Amino acid sequence: MNYTIALLAGDGIGPEVTAEAVKVSNAIAKKFGHELNWKPALTGAAAIDAVGDPYPPETHEVCASSDAVLFGAIGLPRFDNDPSAKVRPEQGLLRMRKQLGLFANVRPTFVFPSLIDKSPLKRDRIEGTDLVFVRELTGGIYFGERGRQNEGETAYDTCTYTREEIKRLARKGFELARSRRKSLCLVDKANVLETSRLWRETLQGMEAEYPDVKVTYELVDAVAMRLIQWPSAYDVLITENLFGDILTDEASVISGSMGLMPSASIGSEVALYEPIHGSFPQATGKNIANPLATVLSAAMMFEMSFSLKEEAELIRSVVNQSLADGVVTEDLADGAKAYKTSEVGDYLVSLIEKA
């Protein structure tokens, strides 16, 4: 099979980690007789520097015409530290999600047997953790009306959702729960927010369509606590944009490193796959960044966009083997030998070739 993949390396360590995911993906393609056509395109600060736009039309055309998008990371401190900047890398990510219709972010959290004692949480708290957040991506406070009043002394951001936006995300959550342990939790703040009450009301109206799925409703502050107390109790959680942004980062550290967790952003057309970590500019060019989250994002791409489950499972298998063998970057080395980003990628390729 032939597949065209838009490659958006982005900023900071993005080019380094995506390079290793490409290397691993190409090894998988060779082993299973597929052909991958990579189409690089600019986004984020790199695109601002080149053309003044964090998501230029040319990049959108590449993404829209591809079978999938593999994305690295965006953002640099010079934009973060300039509150007056009119054009920011993150604007490109938000626009990309909107224009590609990527309304659902699927972010799994699971533990690796060989790393379970590297988690900041106790072993008995996290054993068996295997949960997935489905976060709404194109609505809510990030896309609502915003501005300043009273000569700049007052600022406001508006959170707005439509019932249809909630329904389309909920369907993804229900379908995912059906394929797993048939448990779905809506995370909201319905005791305070009107938008949350609309979320809860909408899901309650959909429960009869999915009688095999057990639905629970929990407040966001309670979930933030329970993710630390007993994360293994959760299966699939769905939530709005802002809550999902915060909770998925909290959940990511359960595994022991943000450099380990993949994600997918899906809609009705092309899907985008990316590691959940940021651009980590302090590590740029040092060949020390952990590429495994990006590699595992590529595994999600093979399975979800290309329906190639065996290929995806082999990627996950060699990642687990690399962790068990201690071939890891410095964030996981814990005093033992730390391997370079490219060395970890090379080791994964060697395991694929031997499989």
Give the tens place of pLDDT for each residue, 3-14: 999 999 999 999
Find the DSSP H helices in 65-109: 77-80, 89-100
> What is residue 293's predicted lDDT score, i.e. its pLDDT?
95
The identity of residue 174, as a single letter, is F
pLDDT at 83: 73
Which CA distances in Å does 287 have to 19, 20, 63, 69, 341? 11, 11, 27, 23, 5
Cα angle 302, 307, 310 (rounded to 5 degrees) comes to: 70
Residue 259's pLDDT is: 73
Catalytic residue status for 245: yes
**Residue 325 a catalytic site member:** no
Mean per-residue pLDDT, 116-135: 91
| pLDDT of 273 strictly over 90 | yes
Residue 354 bears catalytic tag: no
State the catalytic residue, choosing from 249, 340, 346, 347. Answer: 249
Which pLDDT score is estimated for 39? 98
Taking the C-alpha atoms of residue 119 and residue 53, their distance in angstroms, rounded to an integer, is 39
Q: Delineate the domains of the chain, giving CATH numbers in brackets.
A: 1-103+264-355 (3.40.718.10), 120-255 (3.40.718.10)
pLDDT at 77: 85
Contact 79, 89 (CB under 8 A): yes
Place of tokens 């290309």: 306
What is the pLDDT at residue 11? 95
pLDDT at 67: 98
245, 340, 346, 347: the active-site residue: 245
How many C-beta neighbours within 10 Å does residue 204 have?
A: 12
**Residues belonging to the chain:** 355
Q: What is the pLDDT of residues 82-121, one digit of tens each?
A: 677 788 888 888 899 889 999 999 999 998 888 888 888 8
Task: Inform me whether the pLDDT recorded for 53 exceeds 90.
Answer: yes
- The Cα–Cα gap between 124 and 126 comes to 6
Q: Which of 55, 142, 210, 234 is catalytic?
A: 142
Q: What is the pLDDT of residue 99?
A: 93
Helix (H) and strand (E) counts for the chain? 14, 12
The secondary structure element, H or E, covering residue 146 is strand 146-149
Q: Which two tokens stand for residue 226?
A: 């329970």
The pLDDT value recorded for residue 94 is 85
Q: What residues pair up with 8 in beta bridges, in sequence order?
A: 71
Residue 12 to residue 292: CA distance in whole angstroms: 16
> Which has more confidence, 79 or 191?
191
pLDDT, tens digit (0-9, with 9 covering 90-100), for 21-43:
999 999 999 999 999 999 999 99
Q: Which of 157, 221, 325, 334 is catalytic?
A: 221
pLDDT for 52 beyond 80:
yes
Residue 221 annotated to the active site? yes
Tell me the pTM. 0.88
Average pLDDT value over all residues in the chain: 94
The active-site residue, picked from 11, 189, 210, 339, is 189
Copy the structure tokens of residue 298.
């590529």
**Catalytic: 142?**
yes
Please report the pLDDT score of residue 64 as a whole number.
Answer: 96
Question: Per-residue pLDDT tens for 156-179?
Answer: 999 999 999 999 999 999 999 999
Mean pLDDT of 181-190: 98
> What is the per-residue pLDDT across 213-270, written as a single tens digit (0 to 9) for each?
999 999 999 999 999 999 999 999 999 999 999 999 899 889 877 778 999 999 888 9
Other CB atoms within a 10 A radius of the CB of residue 271 amount to 20
